[in-house]
Structure 1
Amino acid sequence: MKIAYLNADFYTMDMDNHIFKNGMMIVDDQKISYIGPSSADLLSDADQVVDLRGKWVLPGLVNVHSHILMTILRGNGDDMLLKPWLETKIWPIEAKFTTEIASVSAQLGMLEMLKSGTTTFSDMFNPNGIDADVVMEVIGETGMRGAFSYSIFSFGTEQEQKANLTGAERFSKTYKTYANGRLTAMVAPHSPYACTPEAIAESARIAKENDLMVHIHVSETDFEVLDIEKRYGVRPVEFLRRLGLFDQPTVMAHGVVLNDEERSILKQYDVRVAHNPISNLKLGSGIADVVSLLDKGIKVGIATDGVASNNNFDMFEETRTAALLQKGVYKDATKFTAQTALSLATRVGAEAIGMGYTGSLEAGKKADFLTIYPYDKAHLQPLSEAYSHLLYAASGRDVCDVYIDGKLIVKDGNCLTIDEEKVMAEVNRLHADLTR
C-alpha cells in the first residue's frame, strides 16, 4: 500500500541535509519510496493521501545507549558519583526486581521514548531475577525498533558467572532478529570494572561466533581508568583491545576519559561512541571531547543513558546539551553546529548501532519519522527559523505523531500501542513495594 504524505516541511538529515519545504513523501511497504518536491504524477499513484497540515517532519530520533528497566528508579540516588551510586543505590535495588517490575518499567521507558520522538534505541539490562524473554516480548508489542542486550557481569560465584554468560549467549542468539526484524540483541559485557578478563574474552567469542555487535560502558570516569590501570597495567581501551573485544563492531558508552592514543585505537577498530552528556554531568563524571572524536572520523551517537541518572528520555534536550557543552568547552561557537548535532541524533546514531537502514528520510530507508505541529507553540516562532528551533528550542513534548515501519504509533501525542494510564499506575504501585 502506497501512502503519500504531503503539505509538510521535510528535514531529511541525509548526507546533504536536504530540506523539502511543502514537499511530499511516499511510503510503500514500510519503506520510503520517494521524498522530494510534490509531484502530481506520484500523488495520483498513491492508495492513500495524508495531509500533514504544514507540520515539520524529521527522522525518528535514535537513542544509542539506555537502560529502560531502570525507568522505575528515576530519582533514586540523586547527587552521587557513579561508583557509590551503582554500588549502594542501583545494584542493590535491581537485585529485588521481578519480571513484572522489569516489564512495567520497560513499558514506561518505551512510552516516554515514543512520545518524545525516539523510534530506535540500544539498551543494556541487568538480567538478575527476571525472565528476559517476557520483557523482550513486551518491548516487541510497543512497535519500537532497537537492540535490547543482556548485560554480562562477573559478580558472585564462578558458577553464577558461568550461568550469566550462558544466559547472555542464549538470549543474544535467540533475539538476533525479532519482531519482524525491528528488534535485535548485542553482546553486552557491562564494563571493564564489572567483568573479569575471562568474561570479556568470552563476550568477544560470543560476538564473533554469532556475528553480533558489542555494547559496553568504557572510560566513564577518572576513577575507572585509574582502577583498570592498577588492576591490569593498561587503560580500559587497551585492556579491551588486547582481549579481542573490538574485533566485532562495538558501541562504547561514555568515553569521557580518553587520550589521543585511545582515540586512534577506536578509529582503527571502528569503535563507535555513545555520548551521554546529561548523565555524565549529573554523576560528576565529566564532559566527553566529542569534537576530537568526530575530527578523528569516529562515529558518535547521542544517548540519554538511564533516567535514574538523567532523568528523562528527551533526546531533543540531550542533543541540545551535547552541542552547547562542546561550544562551551572549546569556547568556540562554531563547534558542533545544529546540522552536526541533529545528524548524530538521527542518521549517524543509527549507523553507529548498525541500523543504517533508518535515521534519515531517504528512498529505500525505513519509514521511521516524527511530526511537530509548530503553529500553536510560541517557542517555535518565527517559523522561518525552523532548523534552528529543532535543536535550540524544541523538546520531546512538541512531538505530535510518531511512525515506525510506516505504522502510526503515536497520534496527536497519544501512544496507540501502550495503555498509558495503566502503565503509570502500575509503576507507582510497584515502586512503592520495591522501596518499602
Structure 2
Amino acid sequence: MSILLKNGHVIYGEDFEIVKADVLIEENRITKVARNINGGADTVIDATGRVVSPGFVNLHTHSPMGLFRGLADDLPLMEWLEKHIWPREAKLTPEYVKVGAYLGALEMIKTGTTTFLDMYFHMDRVAEAILEAGLRGYLSYGMIDLGDPEKTEKEINEALREMGEIEKLNSERVQFVFGPHAPYTCSIALLKEVRRLASENRKLITIHVSETMAEVGQIAERYGKSPVVLLDDIGFLGSDVIVAHGVWLGGRDIQILARHGVTVAHNPGSNMKLASGVMPLQKLLKAGVNVGLGTDGAASNNNLDMLEEMKLAALLHKVHNLDPTVADAKTVFRMATLNGARALGIKAGMIKEGYLADIAVINFSQPHLRPINNVISHLVYSANGNDVETTIVDGRILMLDREVLTLDEERILDEAERIVEKIR
C-alpha cells in the first residue's frame, strides 16, 4: 500500500522546517519527501493549500470518559471525583467502556491525534475499539488499592490479565502500559510490584503525580516527603516512566525527574478547569526534562483536541509568567508531537524518511489560517481540530476529506447517547 501527498506545506524534520513538497508513504513508513515525486502510488491526495503535519501524540487521557462530558463541570478535583465521576464509573459495564473508547477514538481521528496514552479500566475492550479504529494506542489499567493488601493482589492480577488480553491482539499499534493511579491511591507494595513487573515485561509505566496541593500535602503527611521523592526512594522512577500532570513540583523533584529521564505529560486544559495549578514548564525544560502534552479526559477538559491544547499551553504559561516569550509556538508544537513520541519509544512525531507514517493533513484554505505567514504559529494559535482534513496512521488512511473510514460515526454517536441515559 502506498500513498502520495502532493504539493503540501510539509513540516519537515526535527527542526520543523516548512517546505513545499510531496510526501511518499510506502507500507507504514515515510520513504521520500521531495518536490515533484512521480510514480504509481495506490492513492494520491492533493495537499494543495494544506499543511502536512506530524500526527499529534496525546500523552495523557482517559478516552472512555467522553461519556461524562459536561455532566460534572466547575467543581474541585476531589468533589468532582468522589461525588460525580466515581459513582458514575461504578455503573460502567465493559460494553459501555468500549462505546466510550469508540467515541474517544472518533474524536481523536477527527482532530489529528494519531497516538495516545490512555488510563482507565476494561482496557481489553478499549484495545478492541482502538484496533478497529486504526489509532496507535498505549493502554494502561488504572490500579488503585488504597493500602488494602487483598486489593493489591487483585489489582496486580487484573493488570496482568489485561496485559495478556491486549498482547493476544498481536498488534504493534496497541500496547499495554502499567498504570498505578497515583501515590496517594496506591500502596508502596503495589508501586514496587509494578516497578518489578514493568522491568520484567519491558513495559512503560504511567502514573498521576503531584496534580494538586492536596495530594502533595497528603503524601507529605503520610510519608514525610514529596510524591516524587517517595517514588525515587522506592526505586520506582526510570526513563520508562511517564508522569501525568506534575503541577506541584519543587526544585529537588525536578532534578530527580531529570536524572532518571522521566517524561512529564502536561495537561493545561484540565489543570485550569479543575483549578489544580500551573506546572513549572520552564523549569522542567531548563532541567532537560522531556515534556509532552495531553488533554486528560473529556470530562475535565472537555475535549480531546490537541490543537486546542497547544494554544492553551502556550497562553497559560505566558500569562502565568508575565512573559510573552515563554512557551513559544515551536516548543509547544514539539511537546505535542516529537516529545510524546520519544516518551513512548516510537519513531514518530516528525515528517522524515524512515519515520512512521502518522500524519495529519490540515486545511489552511480558510480565513482564520490565511495568509500563511507562519505555519507552526497558525497551528498553535489559530487552528482547531475541525481544520484537520485527513488523518493517516501507520500508513493507513483513517479519515479522508473529514470522512472517517474506519468507524461508523453515526452509530457511535447514537450508542453514546443511549448509554449516558443509563448512567446519569
Same fold, TM-score > 0.5, yes or no:
yes
Deviations 1:112-150 (Å, cap 9, x if unpaired)?
11101100000000x3xx4x4233112210000020111
Question: Share of identical aligned residues, percent?
Answer: 40
Match of 1:95 among 75, 90, 96: 90
Equivalents in 1 of 2:42, 2:80: separation in Å? 54
Residue 47 of structure 1, CA deviation: 5.6
Question: What amino acid sits opposite 2:316 in the alignment?
Answer: L
Instruction: Indicate if the aligned counterparts of 1:208 and 1:247 stay in contact, CA closer than 8 A.
Output: no
User: Taking structure 1 as reference, are residues 49 and 113 closer, same or farther at Cα in structure 2, changes over 3 Å only?
Assistant: closer
Q: Aligned residue for 1:343?
A: 334
1:196 matches 2:177: no
Q: Aligned residue for 2:7?
A: 7
Match of 1:364 among 348, 351, 354: 354
1:54 matches 2:49: yes
Match of 1:25 among 10, 23, 27: 23
Instruction: Indicate if the aligned counterparts of 2:146 and 2:185 stay in contact, CA closer than 8 A.
Output: yes
Instruction: Indicate if the aligned counterparts of 1:177 and 1:183 stay in contact, CA closer than 8 A.
Output: no
Q: Aligned residue for 1:139?
A: 130
Residue 248 of structure 1, CA deviation: 5.5
Question: What amino acid sits opposite 2:19 in the alignment?
Answer: F
Aligned with 1:56: secondary structure? strand
Equivalents in 2 of 1:348, 1:159: separation in Å? 38
Equivalents in 2 of 1:48, 1:427: separation in Å? 33
Residue 153 of structure 1, CA deviation: 0.7
Equivalents in 1 of 2:179, 2:2: separation in Å? 39
Question: What amino acid sits opposite 1:327 in the alignment?
Answer: K
Equivalents in 2 of 1:423, 1:308: separation in Å? 18
1:407 matches 2:396: yes
Normalising by the residue count of structure 1, what TM-score does the alignment of the two structures yield?
Answer: 0.93
Match of 2:68 among 50, 65, 73: 73
Residue 330 of structure 1, CA deviation: 1.7
Q: Aligned residue for 2:32?
A: 34
Any residues of structure 2 matched to 1:278-357 within 5 Å, and which? 278-355=269-346, 357=347
Instruction: Indicate if the aligned counterparts of 1:64 and 1:274 stay in contact, CA closer than 8 A.
Output: yes
Gaps of 5+ in 1: none
Equivalents in 2 of 1:298, 1:291: separation in Å? 10
Q: Aligned residue for 1:43?
A: 38
Equivalents in 1 of 2:167, 2:55: separation in Å? 22
Instruction: Indicate if the aligned counterparts of 1:145 and 1:404 stay in contact, CA closer than 8 A.
Output: yes
Equivalents in 1 of 2:284, 2:147: separation in Å? 36
Equivalents in 1 of 2:107, 2:275: separation in Å? 25
Choose 419-428 or 46-55, whichever is displaced more: 46-55
Match of 1:239 among 219, 222, 230: 230
Any residues of structure 2 matched to 1:387-426 within 5 Å, and which? 387-426=376-415
Equivalents in 2 of 1:285, 1:73: separation in Å? 20
Instruction: Indicate if the aligned counterparts of 1:204 and 1:248 stay in contact, CA closer than 8 A.
Output: no
Instruction: Indicate if the aligned counterparts of 2:7 and 2:48 stay in contact, CA closer than 8 A.
Output: yes
Deviations 1:166-214 (Å, cap 9, x if unpaired)?
1112323553585530111111100011101111111111111111111
Question: What amino acid sits opposite 2:27 in the alignment?
Answer: D
Deviations 1:304-332 (Å, cap 9, x if unpaired)?
00011000011111111101111112222
Equivalents in 1 of 2:228, 2:374: separation in Å? 42
Instruction: Indicate if the aligned counterparts of 1:71 and 1:306 stay in contact, CA closer than 8 A.
Output: yes
1:223 matches 2:221: no
Instruction: Indicate if the aligned counterparts of 2:363 and 2:389 stay in contact, CA closer than 8 A.
Output: yes
Question: What amino acid sits opposite 2:32 in the alignment?
Answer: Y
Instruction: Indicate if the aligned counterparts of 1:232 and 1:239 stay in contact, CA closer than 8 A.
Output: yes
Instruction: Indicate if the aligned counterparts of 1:222 and 1:257 stay in contact, CA closer than 8 A.
Output: yes
Equivalents in 1 of 2:109, 2:140: separation in Å? 19
Equivalents in 2 of 1:50, 1:309: separation in Å? 36
Choose 47-56 or 248-257, whichever is displaced more: 47-56
Q: Aligned residue for 1:269?
A: 260
Equivalents in 1 of 2:362, 2:184: separation in Å? 42
Choose 166-175 or 359-368, whichever is displaced more: 166-175
1:123 matches 2:125: no
For the aligned residues, what is the CA RMSD? 1.7
Match of 1:107 among 102, 111, 122: 102
Q: Aligned residue for 2:423?
A: 434
Equivalents in 2 of 1:172, 1:268: separation in Å? 29
Matched residue pairs, number?
A: 424
User: Taking structure 1 as reference, are residues 391 and 230 closer, same or farther at Cα in structure 2, changes over 3 Å only?
Assistant: same
Aligned with 1:305: secondary structure? coil
Question: What amino acid sits opposite 2:158 in the alignment?
Answer: G
Gaps of 5+ in 2: none
User: Taking structure 1 as reference, are residues 8 and 431 closer, same or farther at Cα in structure 2, changes over 3 Å only?
Assistant: same
